Amino acid sequence: MFGPPMYSANYERGLFRHDIITAWAALMPHGETRMRADDEYWSAATHRPAIDADTLYLEGPLPWYRALLQSPSPSDPYWTTPPVSPLADLPPAVNVPVLMVGGLFDPFLLPQLKAFEALGSRAESVLILGPWNHLGRVSGELNELEGAGGLFQWALTLEWLDHTLRGAPLRTFSRGEVRVLGPDETSWRVSPVWPSPDATPHTWALADAPASQDCAGGALLLELDPPPSETQFVYNPDDPNPTLGGASLLSFAFFPSLDVTPGPVEQGLSCERADVLTFKSAPLLAPTRLSGAARLTLTVRSTAPDTAFVARLIVESEDGQAHLIREAAATLAFPDEATQAPIVHVPGEEVALELNFWPMEWTLPKGARLRIDLSSSSFPALHNHNNRFGPWSEQTGADLATQTVLLGEGRAELTLPIVP
């Protein structure tokens, strides 16, 4: 379901979601479907200035697409005036019970969760969440879910309709509950709310910055006072770190030749890139259930006046396979969720960032390691930041940036919601 707030489905901290919006513009620029527009999508997503891409590749100009390109700030008029702003009033106006089904790897998960909690009939409604993508399937490295039903929960839907339209009693579930099935799980978790209210924050400090330059990695330490250290990498907007899984992907649904796969994709040797820093925890001593939204705080410097930092939260199994859990990003201009308008920084200035991962339900096995991969890009999920301040869609070029990450003294920490 696509609902308010709309900003999170289009942008993340000023970074445009090409694989949702530009892919859709390539598929249906004027309402008619173009199933062979994969080349046009890719060309549009890589073109500078982005504002001209629609006329070159998307049968434009497309006023609706340009309006999104020109609205990277949450405070921009596009998001705060009609017809977009009144959408936030719709969920509270719904006073009939709703059965809502969503996917943990669906690009519209975040607005769907907020819309569900805002329903006027929330106490009488039901939310079902499973490890599916936008097409209602499992993808990445997940096993097929026998009997789970996927996004199309026909048995529960028919039971719900029989109950709400004919007055038959509910047999399988109850009004007001949330049912969640995590990756590779076989039993539904049922509770009045989700994420689990029993989850408590556990924090790891990022440490040993020099070791993060290769796949062996720096450390994620439960001891929160590691010695200060720092390291650098160079970010080149013309050589971005490729997207490897995640939730905010849509092109796979209609441009499969591009091989963009959502979900918990194996990360391969991405940690070997010179512009990727890696940090790993010690092996987990017991199965560890994550329920909720993780957070990564960073302290950084950049030679650019504005730039991006992208983090991947990964689980690395005992056999060395590394699967993406969630990805998050922040920019110097939009360093945290509270920032509604871009902040100007001086190159070289120390900046505190907070990267917020989308909520997740996942039980990590004993012996697995937590891992953070840190870079400055994830293309095509997010647009390649040009390392320049100002309207990104009007920028005709890009610059190299040297990124410095500072550790120790509380400057870089990962916090996870763990259910005891």
- Cα–Cα–Cα angle for 113, 259, 295, rounded to 5 degrees: 35
How far is it, in rounded angstroms, from Cα 415 to Cα 394?
36
Other CB atoms within a 10 A radius of the CB of residue 167 amount to 7
Domains, the chain, with CATH or none:
7-191 (no CATH), 200-419 (2.60.120.260)
How far is it, in rounded angstroms, from Cα 72 to Cα 340?
10
345, 306 in Cβ contact below 8 A? yes
How far is it, in rounded angstroms, from Cα 369 to Cα 5?
34
pLDDT digits (tens, 9 = 90+) for 161-179: 999 999 999 999 999 999 9
Two tokens, residue 158: 């028919």
pLDDT digits (tens, 9 = 90+) for 68-99: 999 999 999 999 999 999 999 999 999 999 99
* Alpha carbons within 13 A on the beta-carbon side of 247: 27
Give the SS3 label for residue 392: helix
How far is it, in rounded angstroms, from Cα 413 to Cα 203?
7
pTM: 0.96
How far is it, in rounded angstroms, from Cα 403 to Cα 399?
12
Give the SS3 label for residue 161: helix
pLDDT digits (tens, 9 = 90+) for 275-333: 999 999 999 999 999 999 999 999 999 999 999 999 999 999 999 999 999 999 999 99
Other CB atoms within a 10 A radius of the CB of residue 159 amount to 18
Residue 80 contacts by C-beta under 8 Å, 6 or more apart in sequence?
none
Which of 79-83, 196-200, 273-277, 401-405 has the lowest average pLDDT? Answer: 79-83
